[in-house]
Amino acid sequence: MIEINAIHKRFYNQEVLKGVSLSVKAGEVVCLIGPSGSGKSTVLRCINGFETYDAGSITIDGVRVDANAKNIHELRMRVGMVFQRFNLFAHRTALENVMEGPVYVRRTPVAQAREQARQLLDKVGLSHRMNAYPSELSGGQQQRVAIARALAMEPEALLFDEPTSALDPELVGEVLNVMRSLARDGMTMVVVTHEMAFAREVADRVCFLHGGTICETGPARDVLTEPQHPRTQEFLRRLLSSSDAHATANPN
Amino acid sequence: MFLQNAIDFLPILLKGAVITIEITACAFVLSSVLGLVLALMKVSRNRALSTFGSTVINLIRGLPIIVQLFYIYFVLPDMGIQLSAFQAGVIGLGIAYSAYQAENFRAGIEAIDHGQIEAAHAIGMRGPLIMRRVVLPQAFRIALPPYGNTLVMLLKDSSVASTITVAEITRAGQLIASSTFQNMTVYTLVALLYLALSLPLMFGVNQLGKQLALRKSR
C-alpha cells in the first residue's frame, strides 16, 4: 500500500536520508527504530508530505506523494498522523477535536459526525471525557483523543511519530493499548517508536535505521532478539541497559 | 461659579463626547478590519504579499497621526476626493491605528503552536480553513487584552481629530474656551469627560484579561 523507493533527502549540507526503501502492505504494522538523528521521523514525515524528498519516490496505492502537489490534502485524508506532542486544537473539546475533520474537511453532517466522534472516543476509552478541553486532560488522554481525531477521517493507514515519547511512564500503557487494538483490527500502521516491547509484540516487521539508511529489517522477533547488524546489536544493548527504557518497556 | 459655568458648558461638551464615541467606534472597526488584512498579508508565505504588508505597516507607523489626518483632509480634495471632517477623521485614525492592530494580530497568530497547524494539515485541512478554524480563534483570544488597550489609546487619540474641525470633546472645549476665556473650567471638564470614558474601559479590559487568564489555567 505504501511504497518507498530509494528516497534521498538533504537538509542544507547534511544528507539525512540516503536511499531508504520500504514497502508496507495493507494491514501490516511496521515499526521504525533507531537512534535519534537516524532519519526515522523524516521517513515518516515524507510519507504524508510534511517533508519533501530530493530523489526516489513514495507512492500510496500507486499515487505519488508530492508535498507541493495539489492532491496532497486528499492523500493526507487517506493516511492519518499521530504526533509526539499530540497537537490537539487547544480551543476545542475532545469531541470537537474529533469532529473537526469530518465536519469541515469531509462535510459530514454535524449530527452524524458527532455520533461517529462519540463512538471513536468510546473506542479509545474516553467516553467520560468528551467535553473536556485538552488542557484538562492528561498526556495519555490527549494522545488517545489525537488517535480518535486521526481515525475520524477513516484513513487507510496511520503514521505514528513517537506517540509515547512525551508521556509520563505510567501513561504509556493506555496509549499502547489503543494502538494494539488498532493493529488487531487490521489498521495499516507505520510507527516510529522506542517501545521495544510494543514493537516485538505488535509489529509484523521492524526496520532499524542508522545514519539515513535502513541497516536491518525483518520480522520483529528476529530483529529485536537476534539482531544481525552490529549497529542494531549495539543500539538494542544500550536501550536495554538504560533503566528508563526498562521501565517504559514494561508499562503494565 | 465653577458649577454654574459647568452647567452651562456641559451640554455642548456632552454633544462632543457623543462625537468622540462615534469617531472612536468607527475608527476602531475600520482599524480592526484593515489591521487583520495587513496582519494576514504579513504572515503570508507569499513573499510579495508579506513584503507589501510590512512596508505598509512601517509607512503608517512612521508617520505622525496628525500628518495622516491633514493629508486625508486637506490634500485628498486636491485629487478630487471630498470628505467631511468626520469621515476624514475616521479614515485617518482607522488607517493610523491599523498598523498597531496588525502588529497585535500578528503576534497572536504567531503565538499559535505550529504543531496544531501541522495536525490540521494531517486531517486534510487547507491553509484558509486552518486560518479560520484553528489559528484565528486562538489568536483573537491571545490578542484580546492588547486589543482592549488599543481601544483606550484610540479613544484618547481621537482628540487629534479636533485639528481637522471634528467637533468632538476637545474641539468643543477649545471653542467654548476661546469665546468665554474660562480655560480652567472648560479643560477640567474636558479632562473629566475623557476619564469618565477611559477609566470604565480600562476597568473592563482588566476584567476581561483576568477572566481569560482564569480560563487558561482551568
Binned at pLDDT 50, 70 and 90, residue B212 comes out as: confident
**Interface confidence: ipTM more than 0.85:** yes
Predicted confidence (pLDDT) at residue B199 exceeds the cutoff of 80: yes
Which of B114, B123, B140, B214 best probes binding to A when mutated, by most A CB atoms within 10 angstroms?
B123
Give the total number of structural domains in chain B. 1
Cβ of A81 within 8 Å of Cβ of B122? The answer is: yes
d(C-alpha A26, C-alpha A174), whole Å:
25
DSSP state of A25: -
**8 A C-beta contact, residue A6 and residue A58:** no
Give B89-139 pLDDT, tens digit per residue: 999 999 999 999 999 999 999 999 999 999 999 999 998 999 999 999 999
Residue B121 has a pLDDT of 94
The CATH number linked to B117 is 1.10.3720.10
What cell does B101 get?
A: 492592530
Of A85, A88, A104, the CB nearest to B133: A104
The burial of A13, by beta-carbon neighbours within 10 Å (0-12 exposed, 13-18 middle, 19 or more buried), is given as: exposed
Q: pLDDT tens, B127-136?
A: 899 999 999 9
Residue A36 backbone dihedrals phi, psi, to 5 degrees: -65, 145
Give the pLDDT mean for A225-236.
87
- The residue type found at B8 is D
* pLDDT band of B57, cuts 50, 70, 90: very high
Tell me if chain A has a CB within 8 Å of the CB of B118. yes
Which pLDDT belongs to residue B158?
94
At residue A6, the 3 state secondary structure works out as: strand
Closest among A117, A174, A169, A165 to A140, alpha carbons compared: A174
Give residue B3's Cα distance to chain centre: 34
Q: What residues of A are in the B interface, CB distance below 8 Å?
A: 48, 50, 73-74, 76-77, 80-81, 83, 85-91, 100-101, 104-106, 133, 135-136, 146, 149-150, 152-153
Partners of residue B139 in chain A, C-beta under 8 Å: none
Look at residue B211 and tell me whether its pLDDT is greater than 90.
no
Please give the pLDDT value at position A164: 92
Highest mean pLDDT among A69-73, A244-248, B63-67: B63-67
Looking at chain A, the whole-number percentage of residues with pLDDT higher than 70 is 96
Name the CA radius of gyration of chain B, rounded.
21
B28 lies in which domain range?
1-217
